[in-house]
Amino acid sequence: MTDLHGTGTRPHVVVLGGGFGGLAAVRALRKEDVDVTLVDRHPYNTFQPLLYQVATATLNPGDVTWFLRSARSKQENMRFVQGDCAEVDHDARTLRLSGGEVLTFDHLVIATGVAANFFGTPGAEQFAMPLYTRNQALAVRDAVFSGLEAAAADPHRDSIRVVVVGGGPTGVETAGALAEMRNKDVPVLYPELDSKKVHVTLVEMSPELLAPFTPGSRDYALESLRRRGVDLRLSTKVNEVRSDGVVVGDADEFLPAGVVIWASGVTAPDAVSTWGVPQGRGHRIMVDDRQRVQGLDAIYAVGDISVADGDAALPQLAQPAIQQGKFVGRLIAAGLRGEPTEPFTYSDKGILATIGRASAVAEVTGIPRLQGFPAWMVWNGVHIVTLLGNRNRVAAMVNLGAKYLAWGRSHNAIVGDTKPPQLHAATPERTRPETTEADA
């Protein structure tokens, strides 16, 4: 067992999770007289807002991931350790990783992110496919194309369906991208298939899509999906997920489906319950007005994993996580210098969602609400600028440009491994990829 404590001569800050919030906390400590250790189960940061573009074969996984050790090129007081948190000893102020390493900390920042919430739906955890990590996005992509290959090889196949569960930004963006693939690419790439028999169904329990947006944006998104031929099932609950489809609604209607994508809410990973921290809504870690974990000194939580008691939960987006991470980094630095601190306040910069090519909604602070092509341009610009690393920005621009600028002429797709068609064989059970915790 290895005990790691920075240099041992100055305060040691351990940041658990290399997502938006974790990296923001690390960077806020760049010029401080501390040692910073960043811990993540993966050696890369994942830009989750564009994972659906990986799942729908527009972007490479490398376009949306960034090597966490690269942060050290501009920050000599940090290092990276790969691992999962197995135990937190609050009295000894140690963090034990699953590989046996023990990190002694003076300050701990928890920024692990969240995982899919299946709400106890029978079969969902076994058969539905979440879309919160790189591995999950690749699994969705390969499942979709395996289904298309199998359908193309079977002339007697009646139809093929992908069901997207959840009408938030991830569900709407994924359903829109799949519908465009069906409308634009399938007729060219799969001439054996009747594209009218390839269905994209979006199931949402509430009567509206995009709940955080204003009614005008919701209505625009609804009509945009309908124009693309998405089968919308609003005010409809998923009662069960099976290996070959879903059971929905009060009448228990069965929708056969080759792929079920789960984009319907999040919760804290199960492991958090063993860390000795208070948990609130969605099992998220409860914090005070300075992002300190309630009842614990020198331990903080930022991003989706945190929730303040008694306040409306912040949107689970990049901006709250980034702002909270910066705040906590500066808070730690101010505390070490003996300076006073103020409570955290969130500056709302707005929300965006895209439905497809030249179609989006943008509610950005300081400018009028936008729909259609102007909103789509804002969406593209914001996401490309927010990507980590110039190489990723260039690669994303190239791949997105190859798709959208050559619309109608280019039908190339970034695909991976697909299963060879097996006609007249029993339908195999589909299980989720081996990732239970979101890339924070």
219-273 pLDDT, tens digit each: 999 999 999 999 999 999 999 999 999 999 999 999 999 999 999 988 999 999 9
Residue 316 has pLDDT above 90, yes or no: no
> What is the model's pLDDT at position 423?
59
- 182 and 233 fall within a common domain: yes
Q: How wide is the angle at C-alpha 254 spanned by C-alphas 249 and 255, nearest 5°?
A: 100
Mean pLDDT of the chain: 91
Q: What is the largest CA-CA distance in the chain?
A: 74
Domain that holds residue 112: 3-41+83-116+267-336
210 and 163 within one domain: yes
Mean pLDDT of the region 281-300: 94
Domain contains 50: no
349-384-400 Cα angle (round to 5): 135
The answer to whether position 221 is within a domain reads yes
Can you give the pLDDT at residue 438? 43
Asked if residue 257 and residue 228 are part of one domain, the reply reads yes
Q: Report d(CA 199, CA 182) in Å as an integer.
A: 8
Residue 187 domain-assigned (yes or no): yes
> Per-residue pLDDT tens for 350-367?
999 999 999 999 999 999
Query: pLDDT by residue (tens digit) across 373-426?
Result: 999 999 999 999 999 999 999 998 888 887 887 777 778 888 888 878 775 544
pLDDT at 144: 95
- pLDDT, residue 405, reads 77
Q: What is the CATH number of the domain that holds 298?
A: 3.50.50.60
For residues 49-58, give the mean pLDDT: 94
Per-residue pLDDT reduced to its tens digit, 165-223: 999 999 999 999 999 999 999 999 999 999 889 999 999 999 999 999 999 999 999 99
149 and 238 in a single domain? The answer is: yes
Q: What are phi and psi of 94, to 5 degrees?
A: -130, 150
Share of the chain above pLDDT 70, in %: 93
Which of these three, 286, 305, 336, is where a domain ends?
A: 336
Residues linked to residue 201 through DSSP beta bridges, in sequence order: 163, 231
Is the pLDDT at 335 greater than 80? The verdict is yes
In this structure, are 237 and 255 located in the same domain? Answer: yes
The pLDDT tens digits for 114-148 are 999 999 999 999 999 999 999 999 999 999 999 99
Return the pLDDT at 428: 45
Same structural domain for residues 276 and 225? no
Structure tokens at 96: 């034990």
- The answer to whether residue 436 sits within a structural domain is no
- Looking at the structure of the chain, the number of domains it has is 2
Q: What gap in Å lies between CA 332 and CA 18, rounded to an integer?
A: 18
Quickly state the pLDDT bin for 434 (edges 50, 70, 90): very low
State whether 367 and 228 are in the same domain: yes
Residue 1 confidence (pLDDT) above 50? no
Q: Is residue 439 one of the residues assigned to a domain? A: no
Q: Which residue has the higher pLDDT, 326 or 396?
A: 326
CATH number at residue 181: 3.50.50.100
pLDDT of residue 439: 42
Q: Which residue stretches of 154-185 are H helix?
A: 169-180
Residue 77 belongs to some domain of the structure: no
Same structural domain, 314 and 364: no
Shared domain check, 255 and 131: yes
| Together in a domain, 219 and 132 | yes
Residue 2 is predicted with a pLDDT of 47
Residue at 317 is within a domain: yes
Q: How confident is the model at residue 328 (pLDDT cuts 50, 70, 90)?
A: very high
Q: Are residues 387 and 310 in the same domain?
A: no
In this structure, the answer to whether residues 185 and 330 fall within a common structural domain is: no
| pLDDT at position 310 | 67
* pLDDT number for residue 411: 82
- Please give the pLDDT value at position 32: 95
Sheet holding 259-262, edge to edge: 129-130, 259-262, 160-165, 198-203, 231-233
- Specify the pLDDT at position 312: 62
pLDDT score of 42 more than 60: yes
Residue 5 pLDDT > 90, yes or no?
no
Does residue 173 fall inside a structural domain?
A: yes
- Which SS3 state, helix, strand or coil, does residue 371 take? strand
